Every structure is written in structure tokens, then in C-alpha cells.
Amino acid sequence: MNYRTRFAQTAFLFVFLLMCTYLFSLYKYKLEEKKLQTINNNISYSEGEAPQELSDNISENLIQYKTGQASSSEVKVAEAEDAASKSSILGIKSSSRGGQAITKKTTEKPVQGSVAMDWWSEARYVFPIGAVAKVTEVNSGRSFMIKRTFGTNHADCEALTINDTNIIKSIWGGWSWDRKSVVIEVNGKRIAASIAAMPHAGLDNYPSGATVSNRSGGYGTGDNLDEVKGNGMDGVIDVHFKNSKTHGTDKVDPQHQAAIAQAVGK
């Protein structure tokens, strides 16, 4: 056998072995890629689809594996970490009990304290004419219901029932112009306010809006500011909010504002 024949045989054998090695590597690569795809499809999330950054991380790990920069076990670990990160982003806490994963959503409790709400820009819209509100007197902690029926510079209100009227009188020790700190709960808001519990400008026995004389509180003749009937109250009481004014002076009342400040956060 001459030199050329031996060279040809050796070259053929080398090419054959090279092709076998390439085909084996290609088969192994396809097999591992299929396993990774199965792992990818089996990842489940507690809520919605995975955020884009998590999918990108998994794709990056897959690329690293294909290029020989990461093993299949490293990819699995990275995917598990991605799933845990996704739960953290969605605000879900996981715990283990009896070998099973338990997911819980975290929630925040709403702020309970009252706020000083400007009468002109907000409070008069949150507590409009016709709205019913719960009132809690700060010092005693006792509550009653009122309805806003009149008022522009502040809210003119009436006790909703005779029982509410009796509670008001017991808190103030009868009818009184004394300002007391209160919290108004209406339309999902808690608003710091001040009330002077002296009914005025109305008579319970006459139609609302009619012109009557001898109105309560020494208000003489005028429109009857008494809409809620049978509540044991003649006329309305004043409910003040931040920056509201009296109807008589058209000015902010310092005593009401001081009482409002004391109700903030209650």
C-alpha cells in the first residue's frame, strides 16, 4: 500500500469521526433544549403572567446554557429564583406547611384618623346638601346622625331623629352655642369639624322654606330652615369645617377653627 492510499484512508477516518462527534453533540443539544422548554412551560405563577424581566432572565439562562456558559442544573436553579422574584414583585408571600406552598397576599390597613378638609375646595362637596353623616363628639366618644339641609358659608344641619336630638342635648348639656370638636363620617371620609349645638332659624311645626315669624334662636321672621320633621328640633345647628365662615359675620370663627384643630387625627 503506497503513501497516497494510506493518507486517503486516514483522512476519511478522521472526517468520519468528526461527523460522528458533531451529530452526537447536536443530538445532545436538542435533547437538553427540549428539557429546558418543558421546565419553562411548567413554571406556574400565582397571579397573571410573569413580568417581562423574569421571562428575559429565563431566556438569558437558556442562551448561556446553549453557549456552554451554564449547566442545566444552574438553569433550573435560576428559573426557581425567577419564580420567587415574581412572587415578590406581585406582593405575594409564600410559606411552606406540610410540604405544600401557601401563598398569601399582603394588604395595608387604611388610615383611620380624621383630616382637616377645606370647606370651599372640598368639604362642601364631600358633604353636600341632602347628605346624611355620622358625627362623633371627640371628648365623649358618643355618636349621632345628622343631615345637611341648608347653608353656604358652612353646613347647616339637623338631627336625623328625635333620638339623635336627645344625644346631642345630653352631650352639650342642653342647647348651647359652645363649640365642640367632632369627627364627621360621610362618603367614606373622616373630616375634623366643629359644632355649635344651638338650633336656630326654623320651626319644626311649619313647612320647610315657608316664611314664618318667631323662628328659633331669636331669628325673627324669615324662611323656615327646618326640613327634617318630628326630630324634636326647631331649625338647624352649625357645623363648621376648615376655613368655613359664619353667616352673620361672613368671617372665619377662631373658636370653631380651634375646635377643628383638636379633632384632627381622631
The predicted-structure confidence for 12-36, as pLDDT tens digits, reads as follows 777 777 777 777 776 766 666 666 5
pLDDT score, position 1:
57
Kindly tell me the number of DSSP H helices and DSSP E strands found in the chain.
Answer: 6, 10
Q: What average pLDDT score do residues 222-237 get?
A: 98
Q: Give the pLDDT band of residue 101 (cuts 50, 70, 90).
A: very low
Q: Report how far Cα 103 is from the mean position of its chain's Cα atoms.
A: 22
pLDDT score, position 210:
97
218: closest CA among 233, 204, 235, 206? 235
pLDDT in tens, 174-212: 999 999 999 999 999 999 999 999 999 999 999 999 999
Radius of gyration, alpha carbons of the chain:
39
